[in-house]
Structure 1
Amino acid sequence: MSLRTALSIFVEEYPKAVERPFSGDALAEFIRRDIPQALQKVIGPNPRYLMHGSPGQGNWARAPWAAIYDRFVTDSAQDGYYVVYLVREDFKGIYLSLNQGVTSTRKQYGAEAKSALRVRAADFLARLGSQSAGLVTGQIDLASSGPANLSAYYEAGNICSLLYPSDGLPQDEVLESDLRRFVDLYFSLVSREPQLFERADAEEDEGTLGDEDLRRLREHKRVERNRKLALRAKQAHGYVCKACGFDFEARYGVIGKSFIEAHHLTPLSEFKGQRLTLDPKRDFTVLCSNCHRMIHRTSFVHSVEEFRAAYIAKDAGAF
C-alpha cells in the first residue's frame, strides 16, 4: 500500500470510525498494522527505527497518530522526541511533525509542561539551524477541543512540521520525499545530542579523544547500553565472557546470575550515517566488565577473536 493511500484512509475513515465501538474495529487495526508498514516501506529496512500507529488506548483518540522512533532516543510516544503524523481533531488536516513525548514531560513539569515543551522545541530547532528552512516551526494547530487534551500538548511540542489538508494530500513522491527529509532531520538531532560531545562526565577511555572520535565512541556505547538490545544479545550469547571465559555466577553465586555486558561489534570507523547492524546474534557478543573496557582501547572492537589472541591467549596459553 502506498503512503498516500494509507494516509487518505487514515483521515477519511477515522471520523466515521469514532461513531463505532472501538474494540475489534478494522480501522483501529489498520492504524496499528498497515500504516506502520507503509512508513517502513518508504524508509526501508533499518533496525534503528520503530514504527507505531495508535487509534487510542481503549477508546478512540481525539487526535490519532502514527510515529517513527529512533530506538536510541525512545521506543514510546510518552518520552523523547520522534517523527509523527498527527491528525487534527476536526479531521481537516494531518501534520507531519518532529515532535516530543508528552507524558513524561507532564509528569516532570506539571502545569508548566507546555512551556517546557516550547523551550525544548526552540533548543532542538537551534540545533537544526538552516536544515529546517521552509518548514512550519513553533506551535501548530491541531484544533484541540480542550487545553488538557494530548493534542494541546503536541501543539506546544512541535519542533518543525508540514501540514497536509485532508482534501488535498500531495502525491506519493512528495509525501515520501517529505518523510525521508524528516527522518534525516531526526537523525541530525540524534547525532547532535549534547551527551555525545560533553566532556565533563568523560569516562576513562574517552579522555584523549578528539571530538569526532569521542562522538563515535559514545554512539557505540549508546548502542551497547540500549536496554532491550543488550538483553536480546545476552539471551543470544549467554552470560560467560567470550574473551576470557569469566563467569560471574560461578564466581559470585546468585548476585552474579545473568550479569554480563553486551558488546557491539561494529568498528567505530563505521559509525556514520543512519544505518546500523543490530542483529543480537550476529552483531553483538558478551564480555565481562574488564574485557569490555579493554577492547575499547584497542583496534579489535570488531573481533573478540583477535582481541583474545593479542591480549589473553598469549599469556594464558590456549584458551
Structure 2
Amino acid sequence: MNLKQALEKILSEYLIEKESNSFSGNTLAEFLRSELPKIISNLLGVSDRYLVKGSAGKGVWTNVPWAAVLDKTVTDTPQKGFYLAYLFCEDGSGLYISLNQGVTDLKQQYGSSVRNALKVKSSDYAAQVPHNSPGVLTGPINLKTSQRMGLGELYENGAIYSRHYQTGALPANSELEAHLSEFIDLYLRIVINQSSQQSSTIAEDDEDGLSVEDGTRLREHKRIERNQKLAKKAKELQGYICKSCGFDFEKKYGALGKGFIEAHHLTPVSTLKGKKIGLDPKKDFTVLCSNCHRMIHKTEFVDRVEEFKAAYVVV
C-alpha cells in the first residue's frame, strides 16, 4: 500500500468506524498506530533521526486522528516541541500535512491564552524560515473541529506551514511523496535555524573564529549531544568513566560526582547532513569528561576518540 492509498483508507473509513464500532481492538485504529507510520518511515529512508507515530485516540476515538514525524533531537512526543503531522479533519472532508506544534505542554503553560500563544509562535517560526510555494498555507488551518479548546482547535492554531487535501481529490502518490519531502526539508531547516539563532552572548570558547556555517554546525552538534533522552541513554549504555582519559567523577568527588559524565556525539561536525545523522546511543555516541569533551571539539578527531587520546591525552 502506498501513501495515497493509506490516506484514502483513513478518510473513507474513519468516521464509519468511529460512529459504529468500538475502539478496543479496532483494525483501523491499529492501522493508524502502526501501518501508516511504517509507510511514512519507509519514505523517509534509512534514518534514525525521525520517530513516526500515529493515533486514533487513547481508549476512545479522537475527533482528529493524526500521524506525526518527530525529529528526536527536538522531541519524542507530539505533546511538546514542533513536528510534522498528517491531521485528518473531524468531518472527514479532508486532511492536512502540517508543520505544527506540541499543544499539551503549551496549554498547561498558557491556559486559556494558548491559542494566541500558538499563533505567535507559529508566526515566529515562519518568519525565521520563509517559504513560498504554490499550495502551501501559512498559519491557522481549518480541521472542522466542534470542540472549543479541544486538541483539534489547538492543532488549527499551532500550524506553521500546511497543505490541504480534499477527500476524493488527493493528488497522485508521487506528488504526495514530493510534498512529504518538501515538509521534511522545511522541518529540518527550522531545526537547524534554532541552532544558528543562539545568542552570541552565550557562544562558547570553541566557537571563536568559526564561520557562520561552521558555527551553526557546531551548535547543531552540541544541541544533539544535550538532548536529555539521547544523552541519558548513551550514559546508561556506556557508563560514567571518560573514554579518553579515564576520569571518574564519582571517584574524585564522591556522591556529588555519581552518575556524572558528558555524552559526545561521534558524527564529525563538518559532515553533519541533517536527516542522515546517526542517533543510536550505543554506536553514535561515547562518553567524555568535561575537559576532553571541550578539547575534542577543537580537533579533527571528533569521531575517533582513540586517536584523540593518542595525540593529546597524557597518561
Q: TM-score range by the shorter chain?
A: over 0.9
State whether residues 74 and 227 of structure 2, in contact with CA within 8 Å, keep that contact through their aligned partners in structure 1.
no
Write out aligned runs for 1:115-264 (5 A): 115-193=116-194, 196-264=197-265
The 3-state SS of whatever aligns with 1:74 is coil
Separation in structure 1 between the aligned mates of residue 133 and residue 157 of structure 2, nearest angstrom:
17
Greater CA deviation, 203-212 or 70-79?
203-212
- 59 and 84 in structure 1: CA distance in 2 versus 1, 3 angstrom threshold: same
Greater CA deviation, 12-21 or 81-90?
12-21
Report Cα offsets for 1:74-99 as digits up to 9, x if no partner: 11111111111111110110111111
Question: 1:71 maps to what in 2?
Answer: 72
Q: Which residue identity does 1:13 align to in structure 2?
A: E
- 131 and 191 in structure 1: CA distance in 2 versus 1, 3 angstrom threshold: farther
- 269 and 194 in structure 1: CA distance in 2 versus 1, 3 angstrom threshold: closer
State whether residues 135 and 163 of structure 2, in contact with CA within 8 Å, keep that contact through their aligned partners in structure 1.
no
Write out aligned runs for 1:94-133 (5 A): 94-133=95-134
Greater CA deviation, 212-221 or 60-69?
212-221
TM-score scaled by structure 1? 0.93
Question: 2:7 maps to what in 1?
Answer: 7
Write out aligned runs for 1:265-276 (5 A): 265-276=266-277
Separation in structure 2 between the aligned mates of residue 281 and residue 135 of structure 1, nearest angstrom:
39
Tell me by how many angstroms 1:133 deviates. 4.9
Q: Please, which runs of 5 or more residues in structure 2 have no aligned partner? A: none
Greater CA deviation, 270-279 or 23-32?
270-279
The 3-state SS of whatever aligns with 1:205 is helix
Report Cα offsets for 1:120-149 as digits up to 9, x if no partner: 111122222244554122221111102222
Tell me by how many angstroms 1:195 deviates. 5.7
Greater CA deviation, 94-103 or 17-26?
17-26
State whether residues 196 and 214 of structure 1, in contact with CA within 8 Å, keep that contact through their aligned partners in structure 2.
no
State whether residues 49 and 277 of structure 2, in contact with CA within 8 Å, keep that contact through their aligned partners in structure 1.
yes
The 3-state SS of whatever aligns with 1:192 is helix
- 74 and 132 in structure 1: CA distance in 2 versus 1, 3 angstrom threshold: farther
TM-score scaled by structure 2? 0.94
Question: 2:305 maps to what in 1?
Answer: 304
| Residue identity (%) | 50
Q: Which residue identity does 2:304 align to in structure 1?
A: S
Q: Which residue identity does 1:4 align to in structure 2?
A: K
State whether residues 131 and 185 of structure 1, in contact with CA within 8 Å, keep that contact through their aligned partners in structure 2.
no
Separation in structure 2 between the aligned mates of residue 164 and residue 48 of structure 1, nearest angstrom:
27
Aligned length: 314
Tell me by how many angstroms 1:218 deviates. 0.7
Report Cα offsets for 1:233-257 as digits up to 9, x if no partner: 2233222111111122333333333
Separation in structure 1 between the aligned mates of residue 101 and residue 135 of structure 2, nearest angstrom:
20
Question: 2:93 maps to what in 1?
Answer: 92
Report Cα offsets for 1:36-81 as digits up to 9, x if no partner: 0010111112111110101111211011110001112211111111
Q: Which residue identity does 2:12 align to in structure 1?
A: E
Q: Which residue identity does 2:48 align to in structure 1?
A: P
Separation in structure 1 between the aligned mates of residue 252 and residue 294 of structure 2, nearest angstrom:
20
Separation in structure 2 between the aligned mates of residue 147 and residue 100 of structure 1, nearest angstrom:
18
- 310 and 223 in structure 1: CA distance in 2 versus 1, 3 angstrom threshold: same
The 3-state SS of whatever aligns with 1:67 is strand
RMSD: 1.7
Q: Which residue identity does 2:285 align to in structure 1?
A: F
